[in-house]
A and B are shown apart, each in its own frame.
Chain A
Amino acid sequence: DAMVIQNPRYQVTQFGKPVTLSCSQTLNHNVMYWYQQKSSQAPKLLFHYYDKDFNNEADTPDNFQSRRPNTSFCFLDIRSPGLGDAAMYLCATSSGRGTGDEKLFFGSGTQLSVL
């Protein structure tokens, strides 16, 4: 089945140690998103790529970066994780074709712990 795959499911890192979360998709979608979700809070959009065009949310900290080397893969890099960055990170895709049929397809998420 076509899907959005996130690895790993659980990630533990140390305070200040760079960490990378990965996402891949087999849907051939134009748009890939990264959301951060903390306990009992709304998924918060960090940024998204439309093809190779990177779109950062205004309130996303500089500590968070992203790369999209090709259509299928997108990475979330946290340069110096702090305790406040512990959260579930959700990757999602949408076709971006503006057909009025837009919807998000989510991965299972990566639960990040910072020690």
Chain B
Amino acid sequence: AQRVTQPEKLLSVFKGAPVELKCNYSYSGSPELFWYVQYSRQRLQLLLRHISRESIKGFTADLNKGETSFHLKKPFAQEEDSAMYYCALSGSNTGNQFYFGTGTSLTVIP
């Protein structure tokens, strides 16, 4: 069965410091991995997906199939990055379903 694990419930970093939010998954097949973000008082929204290989708001994430990880990274954290981050998984084995991790609350300290 598919599973998404985010080991850190809370993460605090200082402004300008690098940040890494961890995500590990289990899935038999070729997964599609996503990061969703929820800013205060806003709805959950897509941040980035591995298939696009894009950098959004300075964030990047690389799919490492050997380690079954999809960690989210940013070299210099900003205060506006404070939010709840969810790693999510979909794929051919799950049909149209998307499965989420428990989320990591990121606080960037000024």
Contacts and interface: CB of A to CB of B under 8 A. Distances in A.
- The answer to whether A and B belong to the same complex is yes
B97 A48 contact: yes
Contacts of B95: 50, 55
Contact of B96 (A96, A106, A108): A96
Interface in A36-95: 40-45, 48, 50, 55, 57, 90, 92, 94
A103 B43 contact: no
A94 B96 contact: yes
A55 B98 CA distance: 13
B34 A103 contact: yes
Nearest to B95: A55
Given A104-B36, A104-B46, A45 B4 contact: no
B45 A106 contact: yes
A96 B94 CA distance: 13
Nearest to B96: A31
Given A106-B43, A106-B45, A108-B43, A45 B102 contact: no
Contact of A103 (B46, B86, B97, B99): B46
B86 to A, nearest CB: 7
B51 interface: yes
Contacts of B96: 31, 48, 50, 55, 94, 96, 102
A103 B44 CA distance: 12
Nearest to A41: B102
Nearest to A109: B43
A31 B90 CA distance: 14
Given A100-B51, A104-B36, A42 B101 contact: yes
Contacts of B36: 104
Interface of A: 4, 31, 33, 35, 40-45, 48, 50, 55, 57, 90, 92, 94, 96, 100, 102-109
